[in-house]
Amino acid sequence: MSTRIRPTLVLLLLVVALGTTGYVVIEQWSVWDALYMTITTVATVGFREVHPLSRAGQAFTLALIVVGVSTALYAFSVFAAVVVDGGWPKYVQRWRYVRMMKNLSDHYVICGYGRIGSIVANEFRRQNTPFLIVDRNPERVAEANGRGHVAIEGDASREDTLKRVGIERARGLVAAVGTDAENVYAVLTARVMKPDLFIIARAEGEESVSKLKKAGADRVISPYKIGAVQIAQTALRPAVVDFVEIATSSDNLELSIEQIRIEDGSKFAGRSLADVIERDKMNVVIVGIQHAHGSMEFNPVSNTTLHGGDHLIVLGSSQTLKLLEQAAK
């Protein structure tokens, strides 16, 4: 719809600019008087002339009436068609989405709004995590926008598409498009554009896992494998599975499990775990520590020294975890 509105506005502004310039040059009027005369002429209001017109000025006014009125009528017909066809709300919505995309930062980009992408989007929304959706299918884009998400139509493997969604300001990318080949291209493009981006990719088959990792994915998830393991664990250890679901669900406000990053320069860095956490007062359980060099330490001892870049895996109430996260910055 913007392809019709923008050229029409440019044409209308061009006629006003030419009319104003013509009166300034021909009649030596001020810019304000020339603009006033141009607007009243194009709008066919019929007010008197600002100043008496010379013969050249009268000829110019006749030409301006023909060109200006024709342009104004054309512009009116275009705007009316947009309103009648229902395109104006869509144009306003698209304009709002463009502004949101320009101002959004520290967000996730979800590539693909299929079965996996839609679930990821719903979970991000439940967790109040900012995200954008990119999909080549216009019907899926309309469906995502209809559900209150922000989605655009585009190819996630193209640099111009990723630039539109602010990949340089993003926190991470989820590659969940239709095929493994498309995911490989999307991951590779995103990795080249932002080397430090956290990328999660979906793999249909086991043979694609290594390809996606070589393309630059930090994590590769196979939904079928995860689903099968979940079924087996539920059969063997249902209580453990229930506990993990409760701890990781945002619907449960009494208990949650989070990862908290120890920032460089934080007051926690360089101090022991017992010194900074104070488990009894904070009422949290330190499940593990993912050290900056990548190793994971489960159930760490109290004299473990924390360093900048470490991640604490903590279990506790949401309010306590928020306080702990603020203190770790």
Are 59 and 109 within one domain? no
pLDDT for residue 1: 46
pLDDT tens-digit profile of 4-57? 677 888 888 898 899 899 889 998 998 998 888 888 888 877 677 778 888 888
Does 61 fall in a domain? yes
Does 9 fall in a domain? yes
Lowest mean pLDDT among 60-64, 176-180, 255-259: 255-259
Secondary structure E strands in the chain? 108-111, 131-135, 151-153, 172-175, 198-202, 219-221, 256-261, 285-290, 296-298, 311-316
Does 62 fall in a domain? yes
CA distances in angstroms from 12 to 25, 61, 79, 99, listed in the order given: 20, 16, 12, 25
Mean pLDDT of 290-302: 82
Q: Facing residues of 261 across strands?
A: 311
How big, in percent rounded to 5, are the helix, strand and coil portions of the chain?
Answer: 55, 15, 30
pLDDT exceeds cutoff 80 at 91: no
CA distances in angstroms from 75 to 7, 67, 89, 280, listed in the order given: 10, 12, 18, 71
Confidence of residue 252 (pLDDT cuts 50, 70, 90): low
Are 119 and 158 within one domain? yes
DSSP 36-85: HHHHHHHTT--PPPSS---HHHHHHHHHHHHHHHHHHHHHHHHHHHHHHT
pLDDT exceeds cutoff 60 at 171: yes
Take residue 237 and report the two structure tokens written for it. Answer: 């250890």
**pLDDT top residue among 92 and 226:** 226
- Domain end: 85, 117, 134, which one? 85
Does 97 fall in a domain? no
CATH number for the domain harbouring residue 270: 3.30.70.1450
pLDDT exceeds cutoff 60 at 280: no
Does 233 fall in a domain? no
Mean pLDDT of 300-306: 84
How many structural domains comprise the chain? 3
Are 7 and 56 within one domain? yes
Reduce the DSSP state of residue 155 to 3 states and report it. coil
Q: Give the range of the structural domain holding residue 183, as residue numbers without chain letter.
A: 104-226
pLDDT tens-digit profile of 181-235? 999 999 999 999 999 999 999 998 778 888 999 999 999 998 888 888 889 988 9
Q: How many residues does the chain have?
A: 329
pLDDT for residue 93: 62
Does 202 fall in a domain? yes
pLDDT for residue 75: 81
Nearest to 60 by CA among 72, 48, 68: 68
Q: What are phi and psi of 131, to 5 degrees?
A: -160, 160
Are 168 and 246 within one domain? no
